[in-house]
């Protein structure tokens, strides 16, 4: 009888310890996200002459506060999840620097009713940020195991307004087009014509363009008419290259 009581007390202790540790971890992650947002704000101010703004949309910053970046990095790198830098996620790919994620999202100027295409799902973090702000996110990833991992992760986090696909994002997602906005998270050698065709008139696309890991520019493209776009250089960046048959 005494041994049963000891076992019961031990189970109660372990349960309380685990719940307490989990709550403490979530609290520390929340605090880390707040610190990350402050670092992003510092980067915005330091690059204001490039990006032509002193601050980002508060709704974008709220999304950065709410999405758990530690869920989108390998477990071995979770302690670095809220550092303002890119991290390796396997298969030669990275999760982008949070400042760049926030900036690219802000440049799209999305609305709650928008439908957005993302080229390059990666771990799913950028899609998760967008999902806080728009009606539907369509995201394409060419690396099959990465795409499947991202899909499972997004389902587990109950982000039901994100639709995933395995494929070559250079060619877009014609069945779901046109899109209010398009975001490309890998560097293309040129602006992909299929993506321009799938962008609504008045829509915006943010894309890094350049050769490999050499000089790349983050571009903001606005579709002014069926055959007319305007392009603005935002700032120099370094992204993994956009891969595929193109």
Catalytic residues: 96
DSSP string, 64-108: HHHS-GGGGS-GGGGGGTTSSS-EEEETTEEEPPHHHHHHHHHHH
Residue 212 main-chain phi, psi, to 5 deg = 50, -130
Q: Among candidates 127, 65, 121, 117, which has minimal Cα distance to 89?
A: 121
What 234-239 contacts at long range (C-beta under 8 Å, 24+ apart), as own/partner pairs, is 234/50, 234/51, 234/103, 234/107, 234/206, 235/47, 235/50, 235/51, 237/100, 237/187, 237/208, 238/213, 239/96, 239/185, 239/186, 239/187, 239/208
Write the burial class of residue 21 (CB in 10 Å: 0-12 exposed, 13-18 middle, 19+ buried).
Answer: exposed
Q: Among candidates 148, 134, 231, 135, which has minimal Cα distance to 191?
A: 231
Asked if residues 107 and 235 have their Cβ atoms less than 8 Å apart, the reply is: no
Cα separation, 245 vs 108, in Å, equals 27
């Amino acid at each position: 009888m005494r041994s049963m009581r000891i076992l019961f007390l031990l189970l109660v202790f372990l349960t309380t310890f685990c719940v307490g540790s989990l709550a403490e971890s979530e609290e520390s992650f929340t605090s880390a996200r707040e610190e990350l947002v402050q670092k992003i704000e510092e980067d915005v101010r330091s690059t204001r002459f490039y990006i032509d703004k002193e601050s980002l949309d508060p709704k974008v910053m709220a999304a950065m506060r709410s999405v758990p970046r530690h869920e989108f990095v390998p477990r071995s790198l979770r302690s670095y999840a809220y550092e303002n830098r890119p991290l390796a996620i396997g298969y030669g790919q990275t999760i982008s620097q949070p400042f760049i994620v926030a900036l690219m999202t802000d440049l799209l100027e999305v609305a709650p009713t928008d439908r957005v295409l993302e080229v390059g799902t990666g771990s799913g973090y950028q899609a998760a940020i967008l999902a806080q702000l728009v009606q539907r996110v369509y995201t394409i990833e060419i690396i099959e195991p990465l795409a499947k991992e991202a899909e499972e992760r997004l389902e587990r986090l109950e982000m039901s307004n994100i639709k995933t696909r395995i494929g070559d994002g250079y060619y877009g997602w014609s069945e779901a087009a046109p899109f209010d906005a398009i975001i490309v998270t890998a560097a293309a050698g040129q602006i992909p014509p299929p993506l321009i065709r799938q962008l609504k008139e008045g829509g915006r696309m943010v894309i890094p363009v350049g050769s490999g890991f050499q000089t790349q520019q983050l571009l903001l493209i606005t579709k002014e008419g069926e055959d007319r776009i305007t392009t603005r250089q935002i700032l120099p960046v370094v992204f993994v290259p956009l891969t595929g048959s193109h």
